[in-house]
């Protein structure tokens, strides 16, 4: 990870070198990868979670990071931390995020480099990235600095994504995410029905819930449009590399998590035991 941190630091040079590479993608698609059995002792996976706003990247990535003993690094969290600080970029970031647009690649790489550097100084190794890369340019830069083992692409129908974003609540004290929406959507065009119970907070969080300022219906729709334009090509980038594992979320966490672990060839009990030794 040291090399990744160092190279990210000099990433401005990479931006210009790599600018023209996006058109060079191969046209041949590789099949879904079959994730290798992860050795829990190695604990240094380098995974990426992709997916539309509201799909649950943070929820699943954070649970897997605990199981695998690697940090969960969400660039959206890094942006919100900076936005809520009194730093020089705070106002600019607030405007961009509240228009549902993407922050510049330069700013994101800078925030991510700082996060990786501070993790490295604490002895972190491996990671699950959530919300990065979100443009092909970001994916190319990441590709230049390190090897990503696996990219998990989470999927849900658009109607569910909007309802989940509108129901999202965050505890202002501990930062945990909850959801007050009950999702009950009939499957269309041969797709199965989707039911998800609300994910309600414990009593000590209930009075401290806040809503993200960009979780309004109009901004969510704008974020979904930006995802289609800028981030869906990132799925193709990794599909061409044979690293993309597609996972259609079948329902709430109790139903979906075991199925995701199975698709990832992970055993929850084994991982938990090895985490305690």
Binding site for ligand ADP (CB under 6 A): 53-54, 75-76, 79, 96-97, 101-103, 108, 131-132, 134, 138, 223
CB 258, min distance to ligand ADP, A: 24
> Given the DSSP bridges, would you call strands 183-185 and 194-196 parallel, antiparallel or unpaired?
antiparallel
Query: How far is Cα 76 from Cα 83, in angstroms, rounded to an integer?
Result: 10
Closer residue to ligand ADP in complex, CB, 50/244: 50
Closer residue to ligand ADP in complex, CB, 53/126: 53
Closer residue to ligand ADP in complex, CB, 70/97: 97
Closer residue to ligand ADP in complex, CB, 38/63: 63
The strands making up 72-74's β-sheet, listed across from edge to edge, are 72-74, 127-130, 46-50, 150-155, 244-248
At 63, which helix (H) or strand (E)? helix 57-68
Nearest C-alpha neighbor of 112 from the set 67, 78, 139, 159: 78
Closer residue to ligand ADP in complex, CB, 95/270: 95
CB 129, min distance to ligand ADP, A: 9
Asked whether 219 and 100 are in contact (CB, 8 A), the reply is yes
CB 94, min distance to ligand ADP, A: 10
| Tokens coding 259 | 């199925």
| Tokens coding 207 | 């009075």
Closer residue to ligand ADP in complex, CB, 111/266: 111
Asked whether 251 and 195 are in contact (CB, 8 A), the reply is yes
CB 134, min distance to ligand ADP, A: 4
Tell me, rounded to whole angstroms, the distance of Cα 239 from its chain centroid. 17
Asked whether 115 and 73 are in contact (CB, 8 A), the reply is yes
Closer residue to ligand ADP in complex, CB, 38/111: 111
| Tokens coding 35 | 């994730």
CB 100, min distance to ligand ADP, A: 6
Q: In angstroms, what CA-CA distances link 179 with 66, 85, 133, 197?
A: 21, 26, 25, 9
CB 142, min distance to ligand ADP, A: 10
Residue nearest to ligand ADP (CB): 76
CB 242, min distance to ligand ADP, A: 23
Residue 139, strand partner residues? none
């Amino acid at each position: 990870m040291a090399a990744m941190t160092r190279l990210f630091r000099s990433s401005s040079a990479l931006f210009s070198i790599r600018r023209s590479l996006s058109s060079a993608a191969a046209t041949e698609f590789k099949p879904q990868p079959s994730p290798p059995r992860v050795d829990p002792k190695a604990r240094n996976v380098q995974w990426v979670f992709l997916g539309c706003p509201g799909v649950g990247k943070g929820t699943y990535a954070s649970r897997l990071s605990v199981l695998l003993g690697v940090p969960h690094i969400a660039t959206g969290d890094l942006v919100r931390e900076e936005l809520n600080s009194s730093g020089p970029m705070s106002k600019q970031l607030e405007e961009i995020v509240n228009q549902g647009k993407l922050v510049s690649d330069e700013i994101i790489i800078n925030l991510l480099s700082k996060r990786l550097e501070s993790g490295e100084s604490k002895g972190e190794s491996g990671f699950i990235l959530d919300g990065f890369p979100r443009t092909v340019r970001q994916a190319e830069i990441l590709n230049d600095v390190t090897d990503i083992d696996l990219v998990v692409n989470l999927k849900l129908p658009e109607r569910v994504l909007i309802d989940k974003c509108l129901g999202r609540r965050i505890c202002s004290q501990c930062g945990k995410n909850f959801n007050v929406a009950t999702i009950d959507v009939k499957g269309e065009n041969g797709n199965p029905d989707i039911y998800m119970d609300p994910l309600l907070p414990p009593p000590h969080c209930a009075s401290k819930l806040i809503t993200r300022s960009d979780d309004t219906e109009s901004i969510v729709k704008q974020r979904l449009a930006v995802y289609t334009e800028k981030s869906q090509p990132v799925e193709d980038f990794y599909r061409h590399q044979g690293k993309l594992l597609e996972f259609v979320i079948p329902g709430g966490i109790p139903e979906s998590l075991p199925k995701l672990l199975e698709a990832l060839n992970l055993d929850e009990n084994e991982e938990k035991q090895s985490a305690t030794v």
